[in-house]
């Protein structure tokens, strides 16, 4: 497992208190990848699934990845523990309640419905109803809003991409806001799914792919033909100055997940991560946790790392935070109300 050393003297108690108080939104977090180890073990036991480990320490020891493809393989093993509709409600509630404890007001959560339908035959309606019910509980208890991105898993048959697109349209009244594209990026560019992407766009839903993570700028150029409002990860744009200019001109947001990139080996070490350069190039950048327990991180930790590893200042953290709500896929009126709330709270913090 990657050990994330930090310059603790760079993170004062005052700065840490500010990070906790800062209003936050997160745009790139996976529902299945957010399951806490204790909950995962409980679900595996209840559902008769052998994860290959029996306690939390052993499970955390599994979260050590040789490379990105190894991470994807392990992700598939862990999703096997989810077997019943109530399992999805439980993990949705835990994600939302945990976010509230970190000062997060809004989440856009990626859900890989096709994995559970293809491998276990779980009906989409039952899964989505349970997730929506969990989100309603979170909203009622702590006020955190949750919306959902259904992603097609790269490598799955084309008919599953069409099925996922149809689920996106079908699930709008349950909080679905976009079609995503995730999984192992090499050899699976967005253009393979062009007809389906355009179909879902014709039904009023955007496309928000993962790109520029395990593949270079060419993966992002391929995705840009579909005019995505955001790109998941996208840090390899730094390799192409023309792409940087295009992202800036088109105001396309990058969902950066620093710890994830290190742990999966997509970035070799902290000094090589281009977060700061992307920020200094005046791109719209957000900070995200991706699959937090699997990378031994939280959204709060990612904001801390922005200070300790990348030298971000408090006002820049506030801008990172505001970028996330500004780049959300909430309906315009709701987004503007949330932006106003963020402005008021950020101003109250003196930023």
Spatial neighbors of 344 by CB under 8 A, at least 6 apart, are none
DSSP reduced 3-state for 264: coil
User: What CA–CA distances, in Å, run from 228 to 18, 67, 191, 208, 248?
Assistant: 32, 27, 13, 5, 13
Long-range contacts of 122-127 (CB under 8 A, 24+ apart): 122/83, 122/85, 124/167, 124/170, 124/171, 126/85, 127/85, 127/88
At 338, is the secondary structure helix, strand, or coil?
helix
Residues identified as active-site = 213
Q: Among positive and negative, which fits the CA dihedral 114, 174, 49, 34?
A: positive
Contact 251, 284 (CB under 8 A): yes
The first and second tokens of residue 25, run together, are 């939104």
Instruction: Give backbone dihedrals phi and psi of 309, rounded to 5 degrees, phi first.
Output: -105, -25
């Amino acid at each position: 497992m990657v050990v994330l050393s930090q310059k603790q003297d760079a993170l004062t108690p005052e700065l840490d208190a500010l990070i906790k108080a800062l209003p936050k939104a997160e745009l790139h977090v996976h529902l299945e990848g957010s399951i806490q180890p204790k909950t995962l073990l409980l679900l595996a036991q209840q559902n008769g699934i052998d994860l290959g480990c029996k306690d939390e320490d052993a499970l955390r020891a599994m979260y050590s990845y040789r490379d990105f493809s190894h991470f994807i393989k392990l992700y598939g093993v862990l999703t096997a523990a989810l077997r019943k509709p109530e399992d999805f409600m439980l993990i949705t509630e835990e994600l939302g309640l945990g976010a509230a404890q970190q000062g997060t007001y809004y989440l856009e959560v990626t859900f890989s419905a096709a994995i559970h339908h293809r491998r276990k035959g779980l009906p989409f309606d039952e899964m989505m109803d349970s997730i929506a019910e969990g989100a309603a509980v979170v909203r009622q208890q702590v006020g955190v809003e949750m919306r959902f991105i259904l992603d097609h898993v790269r490598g799955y048959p084309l008919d599953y991409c069409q099925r996922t697109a149809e689920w996106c349209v079908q699930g709008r009244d349950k909080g679905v806001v976009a079609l995503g594209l995730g999984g192992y990026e090499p050899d699976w560019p967005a253009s393979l799914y062009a007809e389906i992407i355009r179909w879902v766009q014709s039904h009023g839903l955007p496309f928000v792919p993962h790109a520029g993570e395990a593949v270079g700028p060419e993966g992002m150029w391929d995705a840009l033909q579909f005019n995505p409002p955001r790109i998941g990860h996208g840090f390899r744009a730094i390799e192409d100055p023309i792409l940087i200019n295009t992202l800036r001109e088109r105001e396309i947001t990058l969902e950066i997940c620093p710890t994830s990139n290190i742990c999966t080996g997509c970035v070799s070490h902290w000094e090589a991560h281009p977060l700061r350069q992307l920020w200094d190039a005046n791109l719209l950048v957000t900070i995200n946790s991706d699959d937090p327990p699997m990378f031994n991180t939280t959204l709060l930790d990612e904001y801390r790392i922005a200070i300790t590893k990348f030298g971000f200042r408090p006002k820049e953290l506030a801008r990172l935070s505001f970028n996330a709500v500004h780049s959300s896929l909430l309906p315009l009126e709701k987004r503007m109300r949330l932006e106003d709330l963020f402005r008021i709270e950020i101003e109250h913090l003196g930023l």
